[in-house]
Copies of this chain bind each other. A is one copy, B any other.
Amino acid sequence: MKAVVNIYLKEGVLDSQGKAVHHALDSLGFGESVADVRIGRQIVLKLNSKTEAEAREETTKMCEELLANTVIEDYDIEISNV
């Protein structure tokens, strides 16, 4: 099983990295095309779980315990059978 976890800052939390990249894109001449930039992490896990439900449960536990900082971050999990 493969789990893809996308972790991103909650709405309203200042994304300073995104602001910096937005500014850099401005300097490179993309100012007119870009309205906003947000930056998150994508974690790809190869799991030994047998079922999709088990994989999702394990991945959720990992997110809560280590991968995401749930005070300021949200996450979503996609499980696929590859």
Interface residues of A (CB under 8 A from B): 6, 8, 18, 21, 24-25, 28, 30, 32-49, 58, 61-62, 65-67
Contact = CB atoms under 8 A, between A and B. Distances in A.
A21 B39 CA distance: 19
B33 A67 contact: no
In the complex this chain forms, how many copies of it are found? Answer: 2
Nearest to A24: B66
Given A21-B67, A49-B33, A67-B21, A8 B44 contact: yes
A15 B6 CA distance: 17
Closest 4 CB pairs of A and B: A36-B46, A35-B46, A42-B42, A40-B42
B37 A45 contact: yes
Contact of A33 (B28, B30, B41, B47): B47
